[in-house]
Structure 1
């Protein structure tokens, strides 16, 4: 199966972002004929502050209802139908629905099959509440609610796991997806330039190596304005194989990169180094000094 990671430079104007996404997906489909395309994190809005994000938010139809959604939801569905491909919608800003905290938005992935049916929905679990090396503060939890469920779906005979950006720093999340049967894991992202230049590729390759999954990471690139102040995101969208090799990477600027996921590679890596079977069935124990317990405490 061929997959294309779409690299965008989105901003706070939702319609411009939708137009850019459509153009890039259609260009990638014509050039590389992928079976699945994936967009970056919050591709419908980046920057502009709380009001801009709330304006970009969409109420999503009830899963499985087939009901119409908002402009971004219907764009993704339409691209899947018109090109007969799977479309992984990176993530979009979801307005609260019944039973949700009405004060919180959600950072949400939706996935469509080639017939335009929604087959997966995932809300980002780990909130990006950090201070970057340049002193810029990020507090995602002030606006977004956290998801609670791990999600997988099947496309082209391959089981995909869903994650979003900051999730990648939590290895146990990825191991759990592998235990659920994932053979490939998607990582749509808006990774900051400050952290991305040191951590982006290292973390993605590590997640590939330890889970023996293909890692498919579509990212935003360039600058955007947050309450009038410029911020930069790292880009470098990539695909890594289950051995940790980067097999495709996007150039600077908007565009895409395409790779073929080969199940034979996955099977060979897992056969020759069966780390899932070797994973300890019990938790490792340490004494108060931080060292391993002595023989008498076993």
Structure 2
């Protein structure tokens, strides 16, 4: 399977963000990709006061990417968007996966939210404005089980192990990873998730400056089940490709059967 990760610099202009995303999907299809992945919050990154109204799963955002998937004959993972949440004060951070005929194949709501209090330094509570999802999701992408995750999820290996146990061969990570953590942790964590779960990892990131005063790391990449970085994006908006050798994945799992050797009676997954 040929895959593509699309790197964006989403800002406060929703229409412009979607137009750039569509252009990258077109380039992905022209490059032979069967699956293209967009970053977290494709729709909007900026001051919360300027954010567009959150939408339902069957709203305009979904229709836009369903049409793109259908037009380009492409599996489209539409990064994530601000879905209408459970109450007036919170949205869901939601990923939608579309099949090449434009049908909605899967919906995933980001489970782990970044809440931190460091006295005198930082106070950030993502959970004040975002409601957590509750359900891990593995979707069939052209016959390949694919686990869906988002950004901060990357720091919780139990989610990725649950996806691998559920059959995932590909793990998808749309993100808006911050520069100061990304330069030290992004690649390390992605490669760890690939190695320990013996899966391909497709990580599509936001790049560059965004309001309010944040810079995203970028460096979107595709990693194989051995932990080898097959492709990495330069520090610009664009599309990065790699071919996923699924036979090699099965060879790795056979020759180094760490998933089969798990001692679940000693360490049950709860």
Q: Which range, TM-score by smaller chain?
A: over 0.9
Residue ranges of structure 1 left out of the alignment (5+ in a row)? 62-68, 286-298
Any idea what the Cα deviations from partners look like across 1:178-211, whole Å, max 9, x if unmatched?
0000000000000000100000000000000000
Instruction: Verify the 8 A CA contact 2:27 2:239 in the aligned structure 1.
Output: no
Residue pairs, 1:238-257, within 5 angstroms:
238-257=221-240
Match of residue 52, structure 1, among 45, 50, 53: 50
**Counterpart of 1:293?**
none
Contact 1:248 1:259 in 2 (8 A): yes
| RMSD of Structure 2 on Structure 1 (CA) | 1.7
Alignment of 1:6-17 (within 5 A): 6-17=6-17
Aligned to 1:91: 80
Structure ranking higher in strand proportion: 2
Q: After superposition, where does 1:147-296 map in structure 2 within 5 Å?
A: 147-226=133-212, 230-283=213-266
Shift of 1:231: 1.0
State whether residues 106 and 124 of structure 1, in contact with CA within 8 Å, keep that contact through their aligned partners in structure 2. Answer: yes
Residue-pair matches, total? 267
* TM-score normalised by length of structure 2: 0.95
Q: In the alignment, which of 60, 69, 73 is matched to residue 62 of structure 2? A: 73
Q: Distance in 2 between matches of 1:269 and 1:21?
A: 34
The residue number in structure 2 matching 1:291 is none
1:28 CA displacement: 2.5
Partner of 1:19: 19
- Give the whole-Å Cα distance in 2 for the aligned partners of 1:136 and 1:249: 31
**Mapped partners of 2:255, 2:88: distance in 1:** 50
User: 2-side partners of 1:28 and 1:173: how far apart?
Assistant: 28
